[in-house]
Structure 1
Amino acid sequence: MAKALIVFASLTGNTEECAEIVKEALENLGVDVEMVESMQAEPEDFLEVDMCIIGTYTYGNDANLPDEFVDFYEELNEIDLTGKVYGAFGSGDHFYDKFCQSVDDFADKLASIGAVKGAESVKVDLDANEEDRLNLEAFAKALVDKTAALSQ
């Protein structure tokens, strides 16, 4: 059985809601999923799973990483995720110029340490609507399909 870890940070609950949608979709596809808040996770935790998934919010005009995710992000440089599948999703506000920039930052970081992109990133404006829910479910399916293809 494939294993996935979703590490997330959520300020308003929107990203956590997205993480729950992804977790449920993955479980429905037969994946063993753990969901952990960023402050309780270590990058090394990704070494124990097949799918490395980040859920992050982006806030403010500077679009900096969430404070509670900075250490995790920087410590990713210390591990090698070659052969692992990654995906990134998150919430933001179209009011800001750099919509969901933290999602892109994490996707780039995971790719730079060897992980294989398993799905297009999903960016949600504020809270998830029905279309976002469908996109997050498709995101989960793409991750499972990519993981299966790599294990052949």
Structure 2
Amino acid sequence: MHACLIYTSITGNTQAVMENINDALAQLDITPQLIHVRDLDFEMLSHYDYLIIGTYTFGNGDIPKEMMPLYHYLSQTDLTHVRSAIVGTGDRFYPYFCGAVDRFVAPMQQRTDLRVTLKVELYPEQKDRDKIPRLIASLTR
């Protein structure tokens, strides 16, 4: 089984969460590949068993501009055989906490087998890292 973990990160918060997920998957019988969105070959996504998207939220609940090509690709491509998850980081100070996660839900529900979402406030703390096994269990069952 192979997992593609696609992320973008400005402050390092999202990258840290995705690295934690990558490390947890590597302990299982799953081969993870952690890819920054700028290095993504979209056509390869159909070859994965699992897809995990990690994004921060920009502005007032928006998807960052570097993630928009992925968003549009997922909105138009049939990947219903791929189990997926969305992970986001954000700050509760803003009215739409992790709004980018919520915006990714609709296309991923329609075009992938979306299993789970996870929202993390700022840098992942132990309580956030403790949720990773449940995220993986929801993704892989």
TM-score if structure 1 supplies the norm length? 0.87
1:28 aligns with 2:24: no
CA deviation vs aligned residue, 1:104-133 (integer Å, no higher than 9, x gap): 2223221121x11223x1100000011100
1:43 is displaced (CA, Å) by 3.2
SS in 1 for 2:32: strand
Runs (4+) off by over 6 Å = none
In 2, Cα distance between equivalents of 1:43 and 1:6: 12
Q: Deviations over 1:91-115 (max 9, x none)?
A: 00000000001112223221121x1
In structure 2, stretches of 5+ residues that fail to align are none
**What is the letter of the counterpart of residue 109 of structure 1?**
P
Q: 99, 111, 117: which is aligned to 2:114? A: 117
Identity rate of aligned residues, in percent? 30
Which residue in 2 is equivalent to 1:150?
none
Superposed CA RMSD: 1.3
CA distance in 2, matches of 1:95, 1:59: 13
Q: Which has the higher strand share?
A: 2
| 2:132 aligned to which of 129, 136, 146 | 136
Which letter maps to 2:108?
A: L
Distance 2:57 2:27 in 1: 28
**Bigger shift: 134-143 or 48-57?**
134-143
Aligned mates of 2:90, 2:125 — CA distance in 1:
13
Q: Which residue of 1 aligns with 2:46?
A: 47
